[in-house]
Amino acid sequence: MPTRNDLTDFLRRIDGKSYPSYKDLRGRYDFDHFTLSIEHVQGDPFAAPSRLSIQIQHEHSRLPADLFSNKSRRTGTETFLATAFATACRDSSDSLGSGKSGLLTIDAPGQQVLHRTCCQITEDVTILRFVAGLPASGRRILGRAAARLLTETIPDLVEAALRHRNLDAEALTLAANTNENADALRAQLDERGLIAFVANGAILPRASGVDNRPMNGAVPFRSPDSLQTSLTLPHGGETTGMGIPAGVSLIVGGGYHGKSTLLNALEHGIYNHRPHDGRELVVSRADATKVRAEDGRSVVKVDLSPFINNLPGGKDTTAFTSENASGSTSQAAAIMEAIEAGARCLLLDEDISATNFLIRDERMQQLIAPEKEPITPFVQRVRSLYDDHGISTILVLGGSGDYFGPADRVLAMDNYLPHDLTPEAKRIAGESVPSTFRFPHSDSPRVPDPSSINPFKSAPPYRGNRRGGDRASRPPRQNIKAHGTRALSFGSEEIDLSLLSQLVDDSQVRAIGQALAYAKEHTLDGHTSLPEALENVTVLISANGLTTLGPNPPGDLAEFRLQEFAATLNRLRSLQIL
C-alpha cells in the first residue's frame, strides 16, 4: 500500500499540471496510525468535492469498547465523533484556490441522533467518510497546497476528533448514555400501555422556526398529576413525567399556549436527541405518524371509503385516484397510507387539517342531508380506529368541542404546561356526543407497477468530436438528488416532500431515494404489496446498515422510517398500482 510520503511525492510531481491529473490519486494510503482512502476525485475545482474516508483501528484511537457495546451506544458515539470532526473541519477549512479548493466537510448531525454513513464504528475500526476540495488555480493543480491539505491537515483532524485522548471523555460517555436512555424509554412504552412520554423538566420550545436548538428561558415541562408516570433509565435511575396512554387524546388550549409545541415534540419523539437538546427524554412510538391536508398531491388507488363515499357521478372511492386531491381527500389518503405502512399512532393538528374532514356540526348536518355529503368526518371514526383496530390518535384542537365525547383524555395547555381537564370536557359534552361509525378494514393490498418507478433519466446523445463523427446514444443515468427535505429528484420526476414534517435531514431524503432505486431492483416485483416490498428493504437496512444500498455508500446518507419511505413512493406522480 502506498504511504503518506508516496502521496506527498505524487502531489508535488503534478503541481501545475491540468486538473484531470488528480484522477490518479484514487486509492488507499497508509498513514501509520490510520488509512486514508480517496474514493472519488472531482472533475474540476467547481464540481462536487472529492469523496474520502478514514479508517482507524481502535488499538490506535483507543476508543473504549463500552462506547459501542450495543446499537444505541454505538449510534450515540458515532454522532459525537461525526460532530467533533465537523467542528474540526470548520476550524481548519480554508480557501486554497478556485471553486471548492481547500473545502473540508462532513455530513454534520443535527439535533436528532440518526445512524449515518458518515461515521461507522465496527468491532475493530472507526470509518469516517467526508469530502475535500482538491486545490487548484483555475484548472491548474496546486500540488503543494494539496499535499498540505491531505498529508498535514487531515492527520491533524484525525488526531483532534478521533483519538480518544484528545476528546472530552465525559461528553462522549454522556452522548452514548443519553442515546441508550432514550431507546430504553421507547422500549417501555408498549408494556406500560403508552404511546408517548415527556419527562418533567424537558424544554419543548425551539429557538426559532429555523433554529432547532432549545429556546433560552423556556418554561420547563411538568406533567399533570393524573398522568404522572415513572420509567426506568439504564443511566440515572428513574425518570418521572407525563405518560400518554394509548387511545384518543386531545391537546386543547388558547392560542400561543403551547399546543402545537407539544405536538411537535411528540412527532419528533420518534427520534433520539443529543444531550442538552431539551427533548432527550421525550419519546413516542416509533411508528407515530403525523397526517395533514396536502392540497394538490397525487393519490393512486387508495381506499378512502371509510371517510369518503357517494361522490357525484358514482366515482369509486375504494380505489381512489386523483392527480389533484383536495384538502379533505388528501388527508383521508394520508391516514389510509399511514395505516397501510404500519402506523399505530396518528398525530393531527387542527391548524393544518381540512376543517370539513375533522368535523361537521349539527347545524350543517341539518342543512345538508347525509346522503348529499360524501365525507364522513374524522370525529365519527376516531373512536372506532382505536377500539376496533388499536390505532391511537393525538389531536391538537382549538376551535371545536365535538371531540370531547369520543376522547379518552383532554389536556389543556396553559403557558406551555398541560392540565388534565378530562372531567370538565366530559361534563360539557353531556349528551351531545357525535355518533360514531365503525371503521371498516380493507384487506385489499396495493401492488405497485415496477415499470412506473424509474430512477433513470434519459440522457441526450453524444455530439461527436470537433472533426465530426457519429452521434452515439448516451446510456440512461440514475438521477437521485435531495433538495433539502423539500423534494427528491427521482429519475425524471420531482417528488414533493415539503409537508412530511417528520423528515428532519436531507441525508434521509438521499437515503430514501437510494432505497427506492434498490427496491425497484430487488423487491418491487409486480406481485408484492407496497408496504411489504418497502419493509423488506428497511429490514435489510436495519440488519446490515445503509451499506445494504451499496458496498461503498456515500458519506451523506441517514436512517429513515418505513412511514416516510412509503410516503415518498406514494407521492411519486408516475406511480401506478396494478
pLDDT at residue 48 above 60? yes
Per-residue pLDDT band for 464 (boundaries 50, 70, 90) equals low
DSSP class of residue 23 equals G
Q: Strand pairing partners for 51?
A: 40, 131
The percentage of residues in the chain with a pLDDT greater than 90, rounded to a whole number, is 81
φ/ψ (deg, to 5) at 210: -120, 5
Domain ranges of the chain: 4-167, 289-429, 450-460+473-570
User: In angstroms, rounded to a whole number, what is the distance separating the alpha carbons of residues 222 and 403?
Assistant: 25
Cell 442515546: give the residue: 179
pLDDT at residue 529 above 60? yes
User: In angstroms, rounded to a whole number, what is the distance separating the alpha carbons of residues 187 and 532?
Assistant: 24
Per-residue pLDDT band for 519 (boundaries 50, 70, 90) equals very high
Among 108-122, 394-408, 498-512, name the one with the lowest average pLDDT: 394-408
pLDDT at residue 432 above 70? no
The predicted-structure confidence for 263-275, as pLDDT tens digits, reads as follows 999 999 999 999 9
Question: Cell triple for residue 140?
Answer: 491548474
pLDDT at residue 364 above 90? no
The predicted-structure confidence for 15-27, as pLDDT tens digits, reads as follows 999 999 999 999 9
pLDDT at residue 466 above 90? no
The predicted-structure confidence for 98-143, as pLDDT tens digits, reads as follows 888 899 999 999 999 999 999 999 999 999 999 999 999 998 999 9
Per-residue pLDDT band for 367 (boundaries 50, 70, 90) equals low
* Nearest-5° Cα angle at 436, 194 to 350: 65
pLDDT of 58 reads 97
**The amino acid at 73:** R
Burial profile 374-397: b = 16 or more Cβ within 10 angstroms, e = fewer: bbbbbbbbbbbbbeeeebbbbbbb
User: In angstroms, rounded to a whole number, what is the distance separating the alpha carbons of residues 325 and 309?
Assistant: 15
Per-residue pLDDT band for 370 (boundaries 50, 70, 90) equals low
* Nearest-5° Cα angle at 388, 383 to 389: 100
Average pLDDT over residues 387-396: 96
pLDDT of 431 reads 63
pLDDT at residue 420 above 80? yes
pLDDT of 455 reads 95
pLDDT of 439 reads 79
Question: Cell triple for residue 399?
Answer: 376551535
- Are 284 and 267 in contact, with CB atoms under 8 Å apart? yes
pLDDT of 429 reads 86
User: In angstroms, rounded to a whole number, what is the distance separating the alpha carbons of residues 359 and 378?
Assistant: 7
User: In angstroms, rounded to a whole number, what is the distance separating the alpha carbons of residues 397 and 563?
Assistant: 24
User: In angstroms, rounded to a whole number, what is the distance separating the alpha carbons of residues 553 and 53?
Assistant: 11
pLDDT at residue 435 above 60? no
pLDDT of 576 reads 97
- Are 509 and 497 in contact, with CB atoms under 8 Å apart? yes
Q: 477-478 and 237-245: which strand pairing?
A: unpaired
Question: Cell triple for residue 62?
Answer: 483507543
pLDDT at residue 465 above 70? no
DSSP three-state, residue 73? helix
pLDDT of 64 reads 97
DSSP three-state, residue 229? strand
The predicted-structure confidence for 69-81, as pLDDT tens digits, reads as follows 999 999 999 999 9
Q: Which residues contact 469 (CB under 8 A, 6 or more apart)?
A: none
307 closest CA partner among 213, 217, 375, 369: 375
pLDDT of 362 reads 63
User: In angstroms, rounded to a whole number, what is the distance separating the alpha carbons of residues 444 and 429?
Assistant: 37
Q: Which residue has the higher pLDDT, 512 or 100?
A: 512
DSSP string, 245-307: ESSEEEEEESTTSSHHHHHHHHHTTTSEE-TTSS-TTEEE-TT-EE----TT--EEEE--TTT
pLDDT of 162 reads 96
333 closest CA partner among 347, 350, 318, 344: 318
Up-side HSE of residue 84: CA atoms within 13 Å toward CB? 24
User: In angstroms, rounded to a whole number, what is the distance separating the alpha carbons of residues 175 and 540?
Assistant: 26
pLDDT at residue 192 above 90? yes
User: In angstroms, rounded to a whole number, what is the distance separating the alpha carbons of residues 513 and 489?
Assistant: 8
> Taking the C-alpha atoms of 545, 550, 555 and 558 in order, what is their torsion angle to the nearest 10 degrees?
-40
pLDDT of 328 reads 93
The percentage of residues in the chain with a pLDDT greater than 70, rounded to a whole number, is 93
Q: Which residue has the higher pLDDT, 497 or 317?
A: 497
Q: Which residue has the higher pLDDT, 236 or 284?
A: 284
What count of residues does the chain have? 578
Among 9-13, 38-42, 349-353, 466-470, name the one with the lowest average pLDDT: 466-470
pLDDT at residue 469 above 60? no
pLDDT at residue 461 above 70? no
User: In angstroms, rounded to a whole number, what is the distance separating the alpha carbons of residues 446 and 287?
Assistant: 20
pLDDT of 103 reads 93
**The amino acid at 480:** I
pLDDT at residue 361 above 70? no
Per-residue pLDDT band for 551 (boundaries 50, 70, 90) equals confident
Mean pLDDT score of the chain: 92
pLDDT of 463 reads 62
pLDDT of 570 reads 98
pLDDT of 375 reads 83
Number of H-type helices and E-type strands within the chain: 15, 29
pTM of the shown model: 0.94
Per-residue pLDDT band for 376 (boundaries 50, 70, 90) equals confident
